[in-house]
Structure 1
Amino acid sequence: MSIGNSPEDERPFQDVSEEARPSVGRALKQARIAAGLTVDDVSSATRVRIAIVHAIEADDFAPCGGDVYARGHIRTLARAVRLDPASLIAQFDAEHGGRPAPTPAAPLFEAERIRPERRGPNWTAAMVAAIVAVVGFVGFTAFKGGHSGNDAKSQVAEGATTTPSKTASPAPTKDKPAAPTSEASDSAIAAAPQDKVTVQVSAAGGRSWISAKDHNGRMLFDGLLKQGASKTFQDSSKINLILGDAGAIQLYVNGKKIEDNFQKGAVERLTYTKGDPEAG
């Protein structure tokens, strides 16, 4: 007969804190109900669609369109129901494999460097051809100039006068300055009317959900903007924007690039008028 604790008493206590903690969706739903808010109330306050709010409260994050957008919606809903967004996002990362590591930028720049190296021989050939053309042009000009000088001397000796038709021949070249008609893509909205507000949204850094309304609250666009795509909105006085992933968006307002450093995955609500961006 042994004296002391039995083997069963030496077993570690089971930590039930994780089991007792509600899921992300359930925590948001409980906080919403405790605050006396409906799903419609939360959707109107956050501009997150009702279907997405229902899905998140059921711990179904597939309709969000990816983990980045899911984090943005969780952060927005948590603030609306007065919860700490950081703890919920940390719980979401723990339950979904953690936040993905950022894509290193070095391979992208290396890929861009490789292309000029492959085209090196072509540039060399073009340079040689340009040198040959310049030398030929100089030689031709010198030869023509000497020949023209001799003709002029012979005409003066014979008492002949130069006909004005020869000097008027370059006149058609006056139409050449009208040829350049192309415009840079970044300044495509620079010619927008000054009595209106024009906003161009470009998903340069990745896809993002965006919403745009005019000054009357009329919906101009509500959906997912794929990477590389862009939308342009125009109104007589004001454009209201919501960006699901502001870090992936590049904005041009009234023909000028907006240099705000938005965070990746951050949800931003923006309003622009005819006077934006402000001078200075």
Structure 2
Amino acid sequence: MSIGNSPEDDRPSDDSAADGLTADASAAASHAADDRPSIGRALQQARIAAGLTVDEVSTSTRVRIPIVHAIEQDDFSRCGGDVYARGHIRTLARAVGLDPAPLLAQYAEGHGDVTPTPTPAAPLFEAERIRSEPRRPNWTAAMVAAIVAVIAFVGFTAFNGDDGDGKKGPVAEGPKTSTSKPTAPKPKPSKPADPKPDPSDSAIAGVPRDKVTVKVNAADGRSWISAKDHSGRQLFDGVLEQGKSKTFQDQKKIDLILGDAGAVQLYVNGKQVDNEFEPGQVERLSYTKGDPEVG
């Protein structure tokens, strides 16, 4: 027999073995955690792999470009707090095709699981109690003011309605309307109209006596007309349409050629010349001062 520990005493107990396995697992997990890329690095790699630019990610997520750059550099100070940082991580992860849950867990490991502290109920109750009640309108003062205004108006009306002797002043009256019918003005007797002068007389009075005046009127049809003065200068050469007239003057003589003498009327020196020209008849005529005389 040997004195000392038995072989069974040299074997490790079950508790020691379990502790060893737990320590090894923790070490392996810690080593695996150290091998993970950072949150910003993971988001950046996923964005590049998806072929997206920072501008495109900012446009699709509405996260400002400087904040996207800061998160990819693992700078969460520009997010405005942990709540906004978590929201930005979740939004950017979905935009580049990553599962946001591992990234949020990794953020919680480095920044702690910060949850908003509930506000105690007592301060809210105190604030409600301290808040002043809205002022109610002072109806009594309003009624008093209205009564005073009415009394002042009545007194002012009574003072202006009476004069110094207590008599009422005269009331202005509008213009009186007449009920009688307006009388129509009597028509004034008109004077008898002066007799109109004979056309031949007015024509004679209107022409100068020191010149020869010939008027050609195409009363019955159109006619070709040629007119020259005493020197042979052409005064007119053309067609005179029906209803039209032409007047020619010269110091000594007017020479006419009528293409259709039967269609025209002649007035020489203010007098109508009676003629018996036939339709279509061509006439050569000459007139001088004084009574109409055919040259």
Could you tell me the TM-score, scaled by structure 2's length? 0.39
Could you tell me the TM-score, scaled by structure 1's length? 0.40
Q: Which has the higher contact order (CA 8 A, sep 6+)?
A: 1
Compare CA radii of gyration and give the structure with the larger one: 2
